[in-house]
Amino acid sequence: MQTKPLVGISADRTMRGVHPSHVVGEKYIAAVVDGAHALAVLLPALGERQTPEDVLAHVDGLLFTGSYSNVEPRRYGGHASAPGTLHDPARDATTLPLMRAAIDAGIPVLAICRGFQEMNVVFGGTLHQSVHTVDGYDDHRENKEDDLDVQYGPSHALHLVQGGLLQKLAGGASEARVNSLHGQGVERLGNGLTVEAHAPDGLIEAISVANARAFALGVQWHPEWKHANDALSTAIFRAFGAACRERMRMKTGSAASAHA
């Protein structure tokens, strides 16, 4: 009998030398295994070669990761990207329909950084392609010359929306501190999404899906980084894992009833 939920983790399609490859950062895998106490399976960016229904039949939750690539602007009616912008059309073709299908099916979803931006696009929202060039917003990018612990260290305050899911996970706190390693950000909020937190400059930093059947949270920062050392990160992965275990129990119960 399955004792741990199975969480699918979205992969990027990238080149390793001359070979197309599908890649997931180990920090995401570790956060699922150690933070959510789940089994992890990596989902290749195969687009239409695998249907959302085929994937959802096997998983109890989905984690949509961050990435160096940006969502293609055509996916949300944006203007052409600046020259040199990295895109991953295979990931877009995989994650966007998969995320919507999962949320509609009541499968828990945690979306991080690019995943957070995908969640906004999935629900009809738009993105700022370069937040630091927009009047009124700070530069939310990391300094790539810094050590990783500095890049992923607390960067700015997070203002939590009163009564929201994220504030509950934060034990009722009104503020937290988070890292900041992104160039894009939410421009227009998608339909049916609820704002859970803002940065000090007003940029949306966390969203949830209103009236979702299961856990459906998106965060702009990286809670997977040394998640066990941060109270809010720990709470996010624990809550996600609990939702995945509940989904597993529901699925197992339905299967048992079908064979009774």
Give the chain's radius of gyration (CA, Å): 18
Query: Using an 8 Å Cβ cutoff, are 248 and 240 in contact?
Result: no
What is the structure's pLDDT at 252?
A: 83
What is the structure's pLDDT at 116?
A: 98
Query: What's the Cα-to-Cα distance from 24 to each of 64, 82, 125, 143, 218, rounded to whole Å?
Result: 10, 25, 26, 22, 18
Which residue ranges form the domains of the chain, and what is each CATH number?
6-258 (3.40.50.880)
Q: What's the chain's average pLDDT?
A: 96
| 2: confidence class by pLDDT, cuts 50, 70, 90 | confident
pLDDT tens-digit series, residues 48-61 = 999 999 999 999 99
What is the structure's pLDDT at 258?
A: 58
pLDDT tens-digit series, residues 86-109 = 999 999 999 999 999 999 999 999
Give catalytic residue positions. Answer: 113, 222, 224
For the cut 60, the answer to whether the pLDDT of residue 256 exceeds it is no
What is the structure's pLDDT at 259?
A: 53
pLDDT tens-digit series, residues 199-227 = 999 999 999 999 999 999 999 999 999 99
